Structure 1
């Protein structure tokens, strides 16, 4: 007996289940959180000192670094980047 494929790949499956955008957002957030954490480590900066430089709470910074929390504002992201001596570059690419 031959079984029918639900989707030709994992992206198709996620799209059919209505989860593609959410999965993409979580993936992007994980990369951003990882990059910020790596930069903090490289600069030997603690969460407390980064939060102070960003003029925000440590709880807010913890949400930024939480790779499973896909909510992220550009203001928070650019603030973290500036506090680390970096800037943010975002671009749209073909789907």
Structure 2
């Protein structure tokens, strides 16, 4: 009988390489950036309008929307969620 999968899972490989947490955090940031951008499009907010509603600068909003920039604060994420009428929900698993 042939095995359906050979070797370890991708998550296991990331852990073995010692980069699981970093890769996971980066993936979460990318998802959040896409969700904020989708909510902006849904509400037809320009970047300038979104920044105004967040009470922040366009540069700060650009950093939030940049999938490669991972130093975004919870405060910034909360402001972005509130600006598009959503709530930020975090959970530890």
TM-score, length-scaled by structure 2 = 0.87
**SS of the residue 1:63 aligns to:** helix
Corresponding residue of 2:36: 36
Shift of 1:8: 1.1
| Deviation >4 Å, runs of 4+ | none
Give 1:41-80 correspondences, 5 Å limit.
Answer: 41-80=41-80
Corresponding residue of 2:11: 11
The RMSD of aligned alpha carbons is 1.1
Shift of 1:28: 0.4
Shift of 1:16: 1.5
Measured in 1, the distance between the counterparts of 2:22 and 2:70 equals: 8
Measured in 1, the distance between the counterparts of 2:69 and 2:12 equals: 24
Residues 1:89 and 2:77 are matched in the alignment: no
Shift of 1:86: 1.2
TM-score, length-scaled by structure 1 = 0.85
